[in-house]
């Protein structure tokens, strides 16, 4: 979130505009009723939501839900880990692009280092969460020289680092292809220090390519979102905090579910609307990216929802 826009005086959405826990739970139930098995709470920053453990409890209680995950920047995790675990959250993903003091400050745009996030990760481990995954977005010339060290740090602690190719989500991160370190190069660099071997996906459509350390020191994942797009097997739907259903990370807009929900639509009507949106989707931006970026009308520069609104 650019500091020059979201400064101290910025007026964020008024509370009535946010989905309530009841509304989130209701939509989650409908999605699970239509076959969704896994939910991920992301953001924005989910640990900023007041009384988040109550929402987790409600979601975990949904019949038919197999997995609940959460992605956080870890800043508030130290003090919330126990409450999240007590609410039933059994695993967590923490974003940490580098554990180098200076690089962390530069990438987070804040004047504090990674120590507090590392302590949050330790707190999650003490609270019994497992696996703990660390998301590291790799940007050439920014943090790519610290990858191997990061892998080594978490290898020792038994956590799974997932290296993610830097994506052109939204319009504000100044992305260009030269900043992308491909999954193959990431694997090669880590393999140079800690020899790796590929392992099978946990399930069909898993976005991370998995590797294990040949010496038995655990595993890593690499997400080749740019170099090997996985649009064809993508089954993710995203729900924004205002109730927009978004069918692609690179979408220009979503479809409003809050208005029909608040105007009294029944569960059957809402399910029907969701089904219509889902079956009509034809998003495949990542597969089209290369062609779009070089097209004469520069259609690659279209407007896209920003990452902090859509959650990664
Ligand atoms: C947008 S954040 C939202 C949740 C939470 N605030 C956090 O920081 O983890 C979710 C994930 O998106 C990933 N992400 C952010 N920008 C990205 C980019 N340009 N390319 C690839 N992944 C990105 C980060 O790794 C992060 O783990």
**Of 70, 117, 137, best ligand 1 pocket probe by most atoms within 8 Å of the beta carbon:** 137
pLDDT of 301 = 62
Using CB distances shorter than 6 Å, the residues near ligand 1 are 42-43, 45, 71-73, 95, 135, 137, 164, 166-167, 169, 173, 307-308, 311-312
- pLDDT of 282 reads 94
Q: Look at residue 209 in the predicted model and tell me its pLDDT.
A: 97
Q: What is the pLDDT of residue 171?
A: 85
Tokens of 74: 């870890």
Would you put residue 194 in left (φ > 0), alpha (ψ -120 to 50) or beta? Answer: beta
3-state helix, strand, coil in the chain (%, to 5): 40, 15, 45
Shortest-distance atom of ligand 1 to CA 175: 19
The pLDDT value given to residue 204: 85
Q: How far is the C-alpha of 149 from the C-alpha of 156, rounded, in Å? A: 11
One DSSP character per residue, 35-73 reads T--EEEE-SS-GGGSTTHHHHHHHHHTSTT--EEEEEE-
Cα(229) to ligand 1 centroid in Å equals 17
Dist. CA 263 → ligand 1 center (Å): 33
Query: b/e string for 279-296 if b means 16 or more Cβ within 10 A?
Result: eeeeeebbebbeeeeeee
Q: Whose CA is nearest to atom 6 of ligand 1?
A: 45
How remote is the CA of residue 267 from the centroid of ligand 1, in Å? 32
pLDDT score recorded for residue 295: 55
Residues 77 and 94: beta-carbon distance below 8 Å: yes
In this prediction, the residues of the chain whose per-residue pLDDT falls under 70 are: 293-301
Two structure tokens written together for 197: 């071997």
pLDDT at residue 296, rounded to an integer: 52
Parse the chain into domains and list their residue ranges.
141-233, 237-312
Ligand 1 centre to CA of 104 (Å) is: 14
Contact call for residues 161 and 136 (beta carbons, < 8 A): yes
In this structure, the residue with its CA closest to atom 26 of ligand 1 is 95
Sequential DSSP letters for 99-141: -SHHHHHHHHTSS--SHHHHHHHHHHHHTT--SEEEEEEEBTT
For residues 61 and 68, what is the distance between their CA atoms, to the nearest angstrom? 10
Distance 97 CA to ligand 1 centre (A): 9
């Amino acid at each position: 979130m650019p500091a020059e826009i979201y400064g101290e005086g910025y007026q964020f959405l008024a509370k009535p505009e946010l989905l309530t826990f009841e509304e989130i739970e209701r939509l989650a139930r409908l999605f699970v009723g239509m076959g969704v098995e896994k939910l991920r709470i992301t953001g924005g920053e989910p640990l900023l939501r007041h009384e988040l453990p109550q929402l987790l409890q409600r979601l975990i209680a949904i019949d038919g839900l197999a997995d609940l995950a959460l992605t956080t920047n870890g800043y508030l995790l130290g003090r919330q880990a126990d409450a999240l675990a007590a609410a039933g959250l059994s695993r967590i993903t923490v974003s940490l692009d580098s554990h180098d003091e200076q690089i962390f400050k530069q990438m987070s745009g804040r004047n504090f280092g990674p120590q507090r996030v590392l302590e949050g990760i330790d707190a999650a481990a003490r609270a019994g969460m497992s696996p703990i995954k660390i998301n590291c977005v790799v940007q050439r010339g920014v943090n790519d020289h610290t990858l191997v060290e990061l892998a080594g740090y978490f290898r020792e602690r038994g956590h799974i680092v997932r290296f993610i190719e830097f994506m052109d989500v939204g319009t504000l991160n100044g992305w260009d292809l030269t900043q992308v370190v491909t999954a193959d190069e990431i694997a090669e660099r880590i393999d140079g220090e800690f020899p790796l071997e590929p392992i099978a996906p946990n399930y069909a459509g898993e976005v991370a390519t998995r590797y294990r350390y040949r010496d038995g020191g655990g595993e890593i994942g690499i997400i080749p979102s740019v170099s090997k797009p996985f649009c064809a097997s993508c089954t993710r739907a995203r729900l924004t905090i205002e109730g927009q259903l978004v069918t692609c990370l690179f979408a220009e807009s979503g479809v409003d579910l809050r208005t029909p929900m608040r105007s009294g639509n029944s569960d059957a009507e809402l399910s029907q609307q969701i089904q219509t949106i889902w079956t009509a989707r034809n998003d495949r931006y990542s597969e089209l990216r290369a062609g779009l970026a070089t097209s004469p009308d520069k259609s690659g520069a279209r407007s896209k929802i920003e990452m902090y609104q859509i959650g990664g």
